[in-house]
Structure 1
């Protein structure tokens, strides 16, 4: 654990130094090929960084924050696009570092005054989600007492709650340090009433805001010159989901160090096909037929969970993510206990002597 913490501190310095160099050339090198060549070594460095850690938590977290989002943000930065090139971010080194290394986005325009007031229910909501997360870990610890499909439901809750709390905490710290209100990461995804609503407006919004300029828009523009506007949108949707699938395979590789089976990629491709079909049906029928929100919501979340049970979560079970996470929490607790004993023990003895 001590070696992991030491490596983490070194990594923070390496990431900060790399991003400072990128910030320093933001105006001196024109956007395009030259800046892309300058940024490319940092892109590969960010892909490599998660591989040097041993704990599944740091591999997964840095894999998502740096290996995926950070590297994509740098590629967009090279061509004058993405969150690192916005006026709200590029004018401040502190904001540049935060946005490049964390899953956060600063809005281009200041929010209305009434939005700047903190939500009084936010601490209560955070505490409730933290409580559900602890209960979920407890349920996974006793997973042998539940049916396998029930355990997979616990994994659904685990992934959502972990991301919500981890990124919600990082967002709260970033807002306090930067003094700005950040764009949301989630928007109550369990209330989705369609796949388009789930993937486009509620789930993992930071990734959506990265994939749109990095994959969707270029593919739609390129395909539009060949096949026309409407087919180009479908092609762009499929390309976006394919890239998302590959990046999830990469994160699973970071966490498990096992060769990909491509089930996760199939999960995203299936969702891409179904979302494209949903868009086509909506375009054809318009508002003439709309299922009640309760029905469409149940069908949407049922489809997401069923395909997750089939293709997404088996990869987590394959490298025993639940077992290794609980082992790391136990190791962290033992490390904190030993450090506390080493710090307090001598003070307690000296107090007794006096």
Structure 2
């Protein structure tokens, strides 16, 4: 990864943090409502344009996700005295909550939405390590992709999306945990989902759901609308599933041993059909995998070489 790209990344986030300080000191002193919204509109516009300064897929994608999507939604809620930024909190907590993919531990939803983990804290650390090793193994497998069936590659991409998202978001939330904030999990083992409602509502990317639930959900638009239709299909099928459950009224229910693989296979199969073709067509997958190699070389250069010189 070029030094110029890292400098741009640092520049973008210095501006973002300065903007959050403005929101904390200036906008918070303005009564909630239209005037606070007007005071935040320049920041929302700035956050929408900041990722354009980056070209690396991972840095640009992560920054767009954190600023354009999550932070802007949080600021819109903050304008009207709602959302995670509204309760009075110290500046450092405000910046962490605004800029990071976190949700401070609490349960504002009914018991049916309570987030529970199948692992203890020690088990969660072990699971994190296993997922990191699994992602590393995937990167090794990609070297032999010319020998693999296209559907096998798509299955690997499904695993890659989940593993990379969970690991990157967990690392991004590390600063908040370092200052003592107790956080809810960002993912809740989506491969254990027993239904689409369980997958999208209680297990996949939970802090996004918590922000979008009180606002408005806009699907991701693409030139061919394939990704949009992927999310539309998931919404329609989830609604049909909920209606079927109500109609059955508990008279019959498939065991988890059946519903879990059915749920994962449905999400993966529809992803093969609608989600991944857009990425493959634009060669985003090749660029993404290539950036991992660049990142590894960068880490080796900055850590292993100084270490070897020190040992000499």
Question: Normalising to structure 2: TM-score of the pair?
Answer: 0.89
Is the aligned partner of 1:99 residue 2:62?
no
Distance of 1:96 and 1:184 partners within structure 2 = 19
TM superposition shift of 1:339: 5.7
Distance of 2:177 and 2:297 partners within structure 1 = 32
Distance of 1:337 and 1:298 partners within structure 2 = 39
* Match among 255, 270, 284 for residue 292 of structure 1: 255
Distance of 2:191 and 2:85 partners within structure 1 = 30
Who is 1:8 aligned against? 9
* Match among 123, 126, 133 for residue 124 of structure 1: 126
Structure 1 ranges of 4+ moved more than 6 A: 340-345
Distance of 2:50 and 2:274 partners within structure 1 = 27
* Match among 306, 327, 340 for residue 269 of structure 2: 306
Who is 1:80 aligned against? 81
Distance of 1:71 and 1:310 partners within structure 2 = 31
What are the equivalent positions in structure 2 for 1:1-354 lying under 5 Å apart? Answer: 1-85=2-86, 87=87, 90-108=88-106, 119-177=121-179, 179-215=180-216, 240=217, 243=218, 245-246=219-220, 249=221, 260-336=223-299
CA 1:340–1:294 in structure 2 vs 1: closer, same or farther (change >3 Å)?
Answer: closer
- Secondary structure of the structure 2 residue equivalent to 1:120: helix
- Secondary structure of the structure 1 residue equivalent to 2:266: helix
TM superposition shift of 1:25: 3.3
TM superposition shift of 1:327: 2.5
TM superposition shift of 1:106: 1.0
Maintained 8 Å contact 2:193/2:260: yes
Q: Which has the higher helix share?
A: 1
Residue by residue over 1:215-261, the C-alpha shift from the partner in whole angstroms, topping out at 9 and shown as x without a partner, is 2xxxxxxxxxxxxxxxxxxxxxxxx3xx1x22xx4xxxxxxxxx632
Distance of 1:266 and 1:58 partners within structure 2 = 26
TM superposition shift of 1:11: 1.1
- Secondary structure of the structure 1 residue equivalent to 2:215: helix
Distance of 1:18 and 1:288 partners within structure 2 = 54
Distance of 1:142 and 1:190 partners within structure 2 = 26
Distance of 2:57 and 2:242 partners within structure 1 = 37
Distance of 2:158 and 2:243 partners within structure 1 = 29
Maintained 8 Å contact 1:23/1:93: yes
Residue by residue over 1:162-194, the C-alpha shift from the partner in whole angstroms, topping out at 9 and shown as x without a partner, is 1111112222332122x1210111111111111
Unaligned runs of 5+ in 1: 110-114, 216-239, 250-258
Greater RCO, CA 8 A, separation 6+? 2
CA 1:321–1:138 in structure 2 vs 1: closer, same or farther (change >3 Å)?
Answer: farther
Unaligned runs of 5+ in 2: 108-116
TM superposition shift of 1:200: 0.7
TM superposition shift of 1:213: 0.6
Distance of 2:282 and 2:212 partners within structure 1 = 28
TM superposition shift of 1:95: 0.8
Q: Of the two, which has the highest radius of gyration?
A: 1
Between 320-329 and 279-288, the greater mean CA deviation after superposition:
320-329
Maintained 8 Å contact 2:104/2:184: yes
- Secondary structure of the structure 1 residue equivalent to 2:85: helix
TM superposition shift of 1:54: 1.1
Question: Normalising to structure 1: TM-score of the pair?
Answer: 0.79
